[in-house]
Every structure is written in structure tokens, then in C-alpha cells.
Amino acid sequence: MGRSPCCSKQGLNRGAWTALEDKILTSYIKAHGEGKWRSLPKRAGLKRCGKSCRLRWLNYLRPDIKRGNISGDEEELIVRLHNLLGNRWSLIAGRLPGRTDNEIKNYWNTTLGKKAKGEPTSTGSSKETSPPPTKSRAKRREIESKTTKPSAAAAAATRPPVIRTKATRLTKVLVPTIPQIPSDDYNQTANASSSTKPSELQAHQTQLTDQQVNVGDCTNNLNNNYGCTDEDDDIEAKGGFCNAFQSLPLDEAMINATWTGGNDCDLEDYGATLDLDSLAFLLDSEGWPSQENIS
DNA sequence: AAAAAATTCAACCGCCTAAGG
DNA sequence: ACCTTAGGCGGTTGAATTTTT
């Protein structure tokens, strides 16, 4: 691909992974767990760069990866999240169980981004001049996803660009925990019907909406809102509500869901506690802070 | 049927931050 | 305080595949 390798890769395999390599990597990680990527290839007997192993595992081999077409609901959610977060694919992927940042990024670049710009789904300068094929895959996928609501993409096109600050690496597994709301109140709301938003959560959303939320630095704002400070290293111990994910308006189901990014991630667990229906509020523009408030 | 064009997506890259020495 | 290492992220590339001509 034209660039010099990032690390010494003499004698290392590159390019597409073979089935055997996949098997070796999968077996090794199942036996020893993730992590120590630099030394993993040597220990596993793979002639691959550690980064390559990590990427292969995270984007393809993980058992909880959901493969296949992105549904209309997922598409809507991606558009919404992109409006809010910009190109922070990892954060967006964190809201779509089983989807990887790479997959979402690819989907955006090939489909949604062009939709949002009102461009035909084509690439390249020479390609821009020609009209889109009448039955391109993108077109067919559009037709297939019958639940697609074009209004969101159109709305995205009219919104001003998202203001972003530098992305911050998330070094801890993000487990959105129950926010620090009075337990009685929370218990009540948790028992409420699914169509009713818990009052505290509604208040939380309102607070976010009313506040001048700088999306790129929302962590700090949220930390302040929920009593966490920069000095609070032990956020999880506080049951805190203190990361960028948690700055998003959450509904009850999402908060109750066990979100993990680690080895214990099990899609069936998600299915038990969270499905796309639980994210439906994201499709409701009323539930989102306005752009003016974000910037 | 074959060639060209369009499209997808896995894989790579450089850069950044955090952690540890 | 500085340096090194490891892990993670978003941007980009190009081979493979699909569709169109």
C-alpha cells in the first residue's frame, strides 16, 4: 500500500489471512485471552505483526461479531450517532452490539456518507461524473432495507459539521453503569413500562440538552454533572457515569444492558437485555440535543 | 462471454495516549 | 521529567468481487 511498515516485519506474512492463521489465532486467544498483542504472534506461532493479529481478532474473529447487512434501524442509529460524535467510529461501534468500528466506518464511507451529502453512491473522480448504476449493490441494499427512513440522512446533510476535539483513547473497558440516581427512583422507573421514560433519565437528557455540551469534551462535563472529577481515577468503583459513552442520552434498556468491550462480551447477553428496539428513541429526533446546544 | 467500471471491505498505516521503568 | 513500550484510533489503500456495458 505504498507506505513503509510501522514495525519490523521482515519475514512476516501480510495481506489476507488464511483459514489456518485464523484458526491458530482463535485457538490461542480462546486459550490465553486477549492482550499482549506484540508478543502474541510469537507465542502463538504466527508470522504476523501484533497489530495485525489484534485487528483480525477484533474485526473478524471475535465470536460476538455480527455479520451481514446493516439493518435500517442500525443505519439510522449510525447516522444519529455520527451527527453527534463525528468520525469517532469506535464510540459509534460501542453503541451497536456486534458491529465493529471498521465495519461502521466502511459502511459510512461507502454508503451513508454519500447519502448524507446527497451524492450518488460512487467513488473516485472519474466515477463522480457517471450516474449511479441502476441496480448497484448499494441501491439494492437501500431497497432491501425497507425500514430506512430517508429523512434522517437528509437531516444529516443539512446539519452543520460536528465540532470535535481530539479523540481520547479509552483504556478501560466501558461498562455503562446505572447512573447515580436515587435507588428508589431508579427502581420505580426500572419497573415502568418500556414506553415510559424514567423520570430521572428524562431529566438527565434534559440536562444534557439544556447544557452547553461540547461533544468532544463531554466527558468532563458529564464527570462534573455526576460528581466525578479528573482526580477520580476509580470511576468504576464509584459507579460513575463518567465516560464519553455515558454522555449520550440513554434510555432505560440501554442502561440496564450489560455493555462490555472485553472477553466476556456475549451477543446473546445483549439480545437478552438489549435489542435495537431499545435504541429506538435514537430515531426520535425529539430525544436528541439540538445542534445549537451541542456546539 | 468478456471487458470495463463500480463497489466493498479487510488490512495496513501513522499518530496518539497511557502506563511503566 | 524523560523515555520506551503497548494498545487503540481514524484515515487510507488496493485486492477481490459484483455489476454494467
Task: Read off the amino acid at residue A231.
Answer: E
- Which nucleotide is the nearest neighbour of A4, by CA and C1'? B13
| Model pLDDT for residues A226-285, shown as the tens digit of each residue | 333 333 333 333 333 333 333 343 333 343 433 333 333 343 433 333 445 555 555 554
Sequence-separated (6 or more) residues with CB below 8 Å from residue A213:
A221, A247, A289, A293, A294
Average pLDDT score over chain A: 54
Domains detected in chain A: 19-61 (1.10.10), 72-158 (1.10.10.60), 183-294 (no CATH)
- Residue A68 CB closer than 7 angstroms to strand B? no
Q: Which residue is the nearest neighbor of B17, CA to C1'?
A: A169
Per-residue pLDDT for A184 more than 60? no
- For residue A101, the number of C-alpha atoms closer than 13 Å in the C-beta half-sphere is 13
- Residue A102 CB closer than 7 angstroms to strand C? yes
Question: Among candidates A12, A41, A10, A18, which has minimal Cα distance to A28?
Answer: A41
| Model pLDDT for residues A57-83, shown as the tens digit of each residue | 888 888 888 877 788 888 888 888 888
A77 and A284 in contact (C-beta within 8 Å)? Answer: no
Please state, in angstroms and rounded to a whole number, the distance separating the CA atoms of residues A198 and A191.
Answer: 9
A92 and A85 in contact (C-beta within 8 Å)? Answer: yes
Please state, in angstroms and rounded to a whole number, the distance separating the CA atoms of residues A249 and A87.
Answer: 19
Please state, in angstroms and rounded to a whole number, the distance separating the CA atoms of residues A273 and A231.
Answer: 33
- Residue A167 CB closer than 7 angstroms to strand C? yes
Per-residue pLDDT for A40 more than 80? yes
The residue count of chain A comes to 295
Q: Residues 177-236 of A near strand C (Cβ < 7 Å)?
A: none
- Residue A60 CB closer than 7 angstroms to strand B? yes
A212 and A186 in contact (C-beta within 8 Å)? Answer: no
By CB atoms closer than 10 A (0-12, 13-18, 19+), residue A242 is buried
| Model pLDDT for residues A120-169, shown as the tens digit of each residue | 443 333 333 333 333 334 333 443 333 333 333 333 333 333 333 333 33
| pLDDT of amino acid A192 | 34
- Residue A9 CB closer than 7 angstroms to strand B? yes
Stretch A173-190: mean pLDDT:
36
- Which nucleotide is the nearest neighbour of A13, by CA and C1'? B11
| pLDDT of amino acid A117 | 60
| pLDDT of amino acid A124 | 33
Q: What nine digits make up the cell of A28?
A: 490461542
Please state, in angstroms and rounded to a whole number, the distance separating the CA atoms of residues A260 and A267.
Answer: 10
Q: How far does the CA of A107 sit from the C1' of C21, in Å?
A: 27
Positions in chain B where some atom is under 7 Å from a protein CB? 5-19
Angle at A262 (CA atoms; ends A81, A171), nearest 5 degrees: 70
A237 and A172 in contact (C-beta within 8 Å)? Answer: no
| pLDDT of amino acid A114 | 66
Q: What nine digits make up the cell of A8?
A: 519490523
Stretch A182-201: mean pLDDT:
35
